[in-house]
Amino acid sequence: MDIAIIGLPQSGKTTLFNALTKGKAETTGGAATEMHVGVVKVPDPRLPVLAGIYHPKKLTAAEIKYWDVPGPESLARSQGIGGKFRNTLQAADAYLLVVRAFTNPAVPHPQESVDPKRDLLAMLAELTFADLEVLERVVQRQEEGLKKSKTAERPTLIRQQEAVQKVRRDIEADIPLRRQTLTESESVVMVNYGLLTGKPVIVVFNTDESGPELSFSGLGLEEKVIAGLGQVNACARLEAELALMTEDEELEFRQALGQGEPARNRVIQISYQTLGLISFLTVGEDEVRAWSIPAETQAQKAAGTIHTDFTRGFIRAEVIPYADLVRCGSTGQGRKEGVLRSEGKTYPVQDGDVINFLINV
């Protein structure tokens, strides 16, 4: 999973990036121009338990790749959030939107005051403006193409044009693509344009060490604005400092400071919830591994996350829930007890399913 970290200058994006990745990227104290990339293992307490049963050569957790994307230099419409990093934003699976809520006077706010509601709305508007600029160009190209088209081509072109105009009208009405209901054919058309408002968004309120914690409702945001958004509170500066310590030192300092679970873990949890992701597991002497997929993914498609050929050659899936496997101690015992099931192509994979895919190669 790829997550792009976005936000206004001086919001603490790079500091949060360091907190999440245990990195040491330089925080410039201004509008950054360099993109940072870091990979994080997704904590899963089930993996070491399974490793204790199978003693694999390799233990592989799911991963998240974070992209610290330089933000818009201002709210002017010169380049905006799209800019030269638009390809990265289009490729991301979600956005981590950092909103400044800390009050450090040594870090002046570009707008001269700290206002989380204003800044959140400004960044959501940046995504909207970026999409409208793209759609304006698309509409112009479609109109020109329709004039030059042959009679047989026009029905298809008109349907494509109608899909774009429908999405454009809704975005102009402040309905982001992620909240629009499209037909399958309309979705096929729109996937070509990489619209930014189609991505899930997790908002991180970057607070002072002592809080207070913020919430969408506490800021008085309308339901239509926040629908589907995830939210987390974190003091990025403190979390970045703690992330550079050893595990024992970090635990000791967290207890002394009255800090709970690391922000990097909380951000991952909320990201999975917001994106609707679960993990299934594969086991064996060679490797024990977690694989992240959308909830309700069918078994045949889930097999394709391991290798694309597995989708085509899928025969069936042998499935045992994690808790049953741990209790039984092996899939063989699970088979004897009747908790190892054989499932077909359309079986909706559940979180914690331990699966062995049978493939025709």
Distance of CA 336 to the CA centre of its chain: 40
Edge-first strand order for the sheet with 341-343 is: 58-60, 287-294, 277-282, 353-359, 314-321, 341-343
Q: Which fold has domain 126-197?
A: DNA polymerase; domain 1 (1.10.150)
> Which pLDDT tens digit goes with each residue over 238-262?
999 999 999 899 989 988 888 888 9
Tell me, yes or no, if the two domains 2-44+62-115+198-274 and 296-359 fold the same way. Answer: no
pLDDT of residue 75: 44
Reading the block at residue 40, the tokens are: 């994080």
User: For the chain, how are helix, strand and coil distributed in percent, rounded to 5?
Assistant: 45, 20, 35
The span from the first CA to the last CA of the chain, in angstroms, equals 28
Contacts of 69 (CB under 8 A, 6+ apart): 4, 5, 6, 13, 35, 85, 88, 89
Domain assignments of the chain as residue spans, ordered by start? 2-44+62-115+198-274, 126-197, 296-359
pLDDT of residue 37: 96
pLDDT of residue 77: 45
- The pTM score is 0.91
Q: Regarding the domain with residue range 296-359, which homologous superfamily does it belong to in the CATH classification?
A: Beta-grasp domain (3.10.20.30)
> Which pLDDT tens digit goes with each residue over 83-104?
678 899 999 999 999 999 999 8
Strand-pair partners of 6: 97
pLDDT of residue 32: 60
pLDDT of residue 76: 45
pLDDT of residue 31: 55
Q: Write out residues in the chain with pLDDT < 70, as ranges.
A: 28-33, 72-80, 82-83
pLDDT of residue 38: 96
pLDDT of residue 30: 54
Q: Which fold has domain 2-44+62-115+198-274?
A: Rossmann fold (3.40.50)
What Rg do the C-alpha atoms of the chain give, in angstroms? Answer: 23
Strand-pair partners of 348: 298
pLDDT of residue 301: 97
